[in-house]
Structure 1
């Protein structure tokens, strides 16, 4: 499956709950986004062949293929849009599975709509800024006094995380095993003090311009 097209400021919402689709759609439309809703995964995958939205919301429990199946399908084909998984019957293993397979965040229902829209705005605003004029990823400085600096390898893994890469994708890019990437990812989250990739990007938004990047640390840590 080949993915083509560019973001048009659209957001896809996949959920078989009509009330949730309408509520989330209206909230996102009020923020200026064009929202396309789907009741089944096949319809979303069909449109996604030709269009790349700013982000996607996917309910876990769907008739037929689950939301996690749709997530894995998109990520297996390197689909570039950030994906939020939502569920009213989620649990910790399910959330971990979603994040490991490339979801930017796992959102449990019921959840205040305002608390869903805010991180979406932050993520959409941030991701384009993380690429330089040459198209390559650039990591903005983070000034976090008292935090342990990231090693060189952790900074490389972080560069993959901020573009919503899965452990498998990051492993392929860096020539490491997915298990090794998972270990580095865990260390990064602990050092930065966040729980998931969405919080990591939010933290990057709160950088202190002009300050020395906290993760660079000493010469020893830079060469680690």
Structure 2
């Protein structure tokens, strides 16, 4: 294919039509696309070779997308992972986010939407990876359920006064996913509203 313009993207989907469509759309945008029809084929490659982004269907033969995320240790995987889900799979997609996926893309989707979401995620992932550790990452909230790394990133942006849209742009995820993270953070920390949440962050910063 010659020199790559943007890097490799892994696509994992058992539907050949989806694989072909994503290969064409992403290839036209300058990415080198490597497709897998099942999780076992992906895992044999992904453990030793990291793409710049991964698109993973929640329903694939053998291991589910959730199982794959857990095996990849998705919270620490060196590339953003999107879950591809049908409209009836929202609960599974949310479970995937908790297992380390960055966000989910719902079928049917437009090629232009995929490119926009991927480019935003890759840029945000790179910025966050290269940024110095934040104060929020080391904060502890005694007696509360621990936050995931992504929840801490969202909390940091909420505390800085970012809107859902601004926080989503910074992290490369959709505003509605920011809202889901915000709701989960408030539940874990027993905060009744955003003001109380910010106050808890300020109190934790002083300790």
Considering only aligned residues, what root-mean-square deviation do their CA atoms show, in Å?
3.5
Greater RCO (CA < 8 Å, at least 6 residues apart): 1
1 CA distance for matches of 2:127 and 2:95? 28
Q: Quick check: which one's helix share is greater?
A: 2
Quote the residue 1:156 is aligned against: 136
- Within a 5 Å distance, the mapping from 1:107-118 to structure 2 comes to 107-118=105-116
TM-score after normalising by structure 2: 0.67
Could you tell which deviates more after superposition, 47-56 or 11-20? 47-56
Cα shift readout 1:91-123 (whole Å, capped 9, x = no counterpart): 442232111111111111001121111121122
Closer, same or farther in 2 for the Cα pair 1:49/1:112, shift >3 Å?
same
**Residue 100 in 1 paired to residue 98 in 2?**
yes
Q: 1:87 to 1:131 in 2, by over 3 A?
A: closer
Which residue of the other structure, out of 171, 184, 188, is the alignment partner of 1:201? 171
Indicate conservation of the 8 Å contact 2:136/2:152, yes or no.
no
2:15 is aligned, of 17, 23, 26, to: 17
What are the residue-to-residue correspondences of 1:64-79 with 2, within 5 Å? 64-75=62-73, 78-79=76-77
Which sections of structure 1, spanning at least 5 residues, go unmatched? 1-7, 140-151, 158-172, 204-216
Change (3 A) 1:174 1:11: farther
Q: Is the 8 A contact 1:119 1:198 kept in 2?
A: no
Gap change, CA 1:131 and 1:82, over 3 Å in 2: closer
Residues 27 and 106 (structure 1), Cα distance of their counterparts in 2 relative to 1, 3 Å cut: same
CA contact (8 A) 2:58 2:93 kept: no
Mind listing any 5+ residue stretches in structure 2 that lack a counterpart? 1-5, 174-197
**Displacement after TM superposition at 1:63 (Å):** 1.4
Q: TM-score, normalised by structure 1?
A: 0.62
| Count of residues in Structure 1 that have an aligned counterpart in Structure 2 | 169
Q: How much has 1:175 moved relative to structure 2? A: 6.6
Alignment partners' CA distance in 2, 1:30 and 1:76? 28
